[in-house]
């Protein structure tokens, strides 16, 4: 079945905006045409709106929606060790299913069409993605710190087994990765084995790196090299790899990233909330390092709205560079769309014939969005997730006129509330 998004404006791959229709086909999952007066089996109105690529949340822990507001106002290490890790040790598979469905509901509502996740009980995440219809790059998060050798080996094996068994699930919308949590929470020999497994399976490595000074300094002290040099010696940071944060980077690391071309996933809200620091986004852009954008988990953000994240990225980027012209709106939209698709190695990110029909229609009719001098400016500086009218993934409409079709919104919210309360009681 073909569908035309009619009477709207379109954000083109070169960043320009013009009046045009967009026709896509459900059976192929592709955009067929962008132009005037396109006939199709059915129409969806984009009048008063902008058709743009779906947003890509390139780093999150979806099921952490259950821990939204559970522990705030602490720095990363204390937050993880005093609150989050104890709660996560009580997680059951059904919690991950409930938290992920809540996350996917929030994503569809706010225009996210693809995401990268590393967490636990990942088969539940696959099942939720299958049902909700998004695209995802998924991995079991490997941690060895605090574990004996047998438990560490088992965790690595689960990471590898999951990457093998889930790749291609949900009609190819799910692809996998290998995810050692970070360079300090996974020991060296496990890191080496994890990276080797990723290369053999042909999947990317997705990890956290250079998030806080507390994480960087021990590596420099113990090994005499910067964290990214250490990771690079182990075989990390190929161009298909991606890592979250990159807040604390020195000149040598900027050069390494420019040379090796992994994607850096900027998570500005999480970095501000945990007071981790300000990533040098303008310097990364100037160096030609591939950039994407992520929310991180809902417990450190505290929402999964990529419009919020775009605004935060632009504002924090200017503050970090002490330059109002730094990290302009066009660059941020690129990070949240094509840059995210590139980081995840998934289709999408462009409104052009032959590209994946992963599309959203953003309303420009709210008082907050009036008048319209510049659509691109509004997307970054004025829009919110609630402005999204339609969400389409792989040619299938997941939200029509703000009605989320694959999920029962009330049931998802009620289950998440119940599971979150029980989890907090057990923790």
Ligand X SMILES: CSC[C@H]1O[C@@H](n2cnc3c(O)ncnc32)[C@H](O)[C@@H]1O
- Of 11, 31, 114, 143, the one binding ligand X (CB under 6 A) is 143
Tell me the residue nearest to Zn ion as measured from the CB.
296
Q: How far is the CB of 394 from ligand X (least distance, A)?
A: 27
Contact assessment for residue 349 and residue 341, using Cβ atoms and an 8 Å cutoff = yes
Answer with the entry of Zn ion, ligand X, none that 79 interacts with (C-beta below 5 to 8 A by kind).
none
What is the C-alpha to C-alpha distance for residues 122 and 176, in angstroms, rounded to an integer? 10
Give Cα 311 to chain centroid, integer Å. 15
**Which partner from the list Zn ion, ligand X, none does 376 bind, CB cut-off 5 to 8 Å by kind?**
none
What is the distance between the alpha carbons of residues 355 and 321, in angstroms, rounded to a whole number? 35
Nearer to ligand X, 163 or 399 (CB): 163
Minimum separation from the CB atom of position 234 to ligand X (A): 18
Choose the one of Zn ion, ligand X, none that binds residue 2, judging by a C-beta under 5 to 8 angstroms depending on kind.
none
Which of 24, 70, 119, 243 touches ligand X by CB under 6 A?
119
Distance CA 211, CA 209 (A): 6
118 binds, among ligand X, Zn ion, none (CB under 5 to 8 A by kind): ligand X
Q: Is 390 annotated as a binding residue?
A: no
- DSSP letter, residue 27: T
- Give one DSSP letter per residue of 237-252, joined into a string: --TT-EEEE--S--HH
CA 339 to chain centroid: 11
Give the residue carrying structure tokens 């053999």: 200
128 CB neighbour count, 10 Å cutoff: 26
Taking CB under 6 A as the criterion, the residue among 56, 58, 62, 76 binding ligand X is: 76
Cα separation, 289 vs 346, in Å, equals: 18
Q: Under the criterion CB under 5 A, does residue 296 sit at the interface with Zn ion?
A: yes
CB of 123 to ligand X, least distance (A): 15
- Picking from 409, 410, 405, the residue whose alpha carbon sits closest to that of residue 392 is 405
Work out the number of other CB atoms within 10 angstroms of the CB of residue 310. Answer: 23
CB of 415 to ligand X, least distance (A): 21
The answer to the question of whether 188 is labelled as a binding residue is no
For ligand X, what does the binding mask look like between residues 274 and 313, x meaning CB under 6 A?
Answer: ----------------------xx--x-------------
DSSP code of 196?
Answer: H
Nearest distance from C-beta of residue 393 to Zn ion, angstroms: 23
Phi, psi of 353 (to 5 degrees): -55, 135
Q: Out of Zn ion, ligand X, none, which partner does residue 300 contact, by CB within 5 to 8 A per kind?
A: ligand X
Q: Going by DSSP bridges, is the β-strand pair 263-266/242-245 parallel, antiparallel, or unpaired?
A: parallel
**What is the C-alpha separation between 77 and 291, in angstroms, rounded?**
25
Residue nearest to ligand X (CB): 141
181 annotated among ligand-binding-site residues: yes
> Would you say 211 is a known binding-site residue?
yes
| Positions that interact with ligand X (CB under 6 A) | 61, 76, 84, 88, 118-119, 141, 143, 181, 208, 211, 270, 296-297, 300
Residues of the binding site for substrate: 88, 181, 211, 296
| Positions that interact with Zn ion (CB under 5 A) | 296
Residues of the binding site: 59, 61, 88, 181, 208, 211, 296
């Amino acid at each position: 079945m073909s569908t035309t998004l009619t009477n709207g404006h379109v954000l083109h791959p070169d960043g320009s905006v013009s009046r045009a229709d967009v026709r896509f086909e459900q059976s192929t999952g592709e955009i067929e045409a962008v132009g005037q007066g396109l006939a199709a089996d059915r129409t969806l109105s984009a009048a008063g709106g902008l058709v743009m690529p779906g947003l890509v949340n390139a780093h999150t822990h979806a099921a952490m929606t259950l821990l939204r507001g559970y522990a705030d106002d602490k720095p990363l290490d204390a937050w993880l060790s005093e609150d989050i890790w104890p709660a996560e040790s009580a997680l059951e598979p059904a919690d991950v299913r409930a938290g992920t469905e809540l996350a996917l509901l929030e994503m569809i509502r706010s225009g996210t069409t693809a995401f990268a996740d590393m967490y636990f009980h990942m088969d539940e995440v696959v099942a939720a993605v299958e049902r909700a219809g998004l695209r995802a790059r998924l991995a079991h998060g490997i941690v060895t710190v605090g574990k004996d050798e047998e438990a560490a080996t088992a965790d690595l094996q689960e990471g590898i087994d999951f990457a093998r068994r889930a790749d291609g699930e949900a009609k190819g919308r799910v692809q996998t990765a290998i995810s050692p949590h970070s360079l300090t929470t996974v020991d060296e020999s496990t890191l080496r084995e994890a990276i080797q497994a990723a290369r053999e399976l042909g999947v990317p490595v997705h990890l956290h790196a250079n998030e806080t000074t507390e994480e960087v300094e021990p590596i420099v002290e113990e090994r005499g090299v910067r964290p990214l040099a250490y990771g690079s010696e182990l075989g990390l940071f190929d161009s298909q790899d991606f890592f979250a944060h990159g807040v604390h980077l020195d000149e040598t690391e900027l050069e390494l990233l420019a040379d090796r071309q992994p994607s850096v996933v900027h998570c500005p809200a999480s970095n501000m909330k945990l007071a981790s620091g300000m990533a040098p986004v303008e310097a990364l852009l100037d160096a030609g390092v591939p950039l994407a954008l992520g929310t991180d988990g809902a417990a450190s953000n505290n929402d999964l709205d990529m419009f919020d994240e775009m605004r935060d990225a632009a504002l924090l980027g200017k503050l970090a560079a002490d330059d109002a012209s730094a990290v302009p709106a066009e660059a941020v939209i690129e990070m949240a769309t094509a840059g995210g698709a590139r980081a995840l190695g998934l289709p999408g990110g462009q409104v052009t014939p032959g590209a994946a029909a992963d599309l959203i229609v953003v309303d420009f009719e709210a008082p907050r969005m009036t008048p319209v001098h510049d659509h691109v400016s509004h997307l970054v500086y004025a829009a919110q997730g609630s402005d999204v009218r339609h969400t389409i993934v792989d040619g299938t409409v997941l939200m029509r006129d703000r009605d989320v079709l694959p999920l029962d919104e009330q049931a998802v919210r009620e289950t998440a509330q119940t599971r979150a309360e029980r989890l907090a009681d057990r923790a």
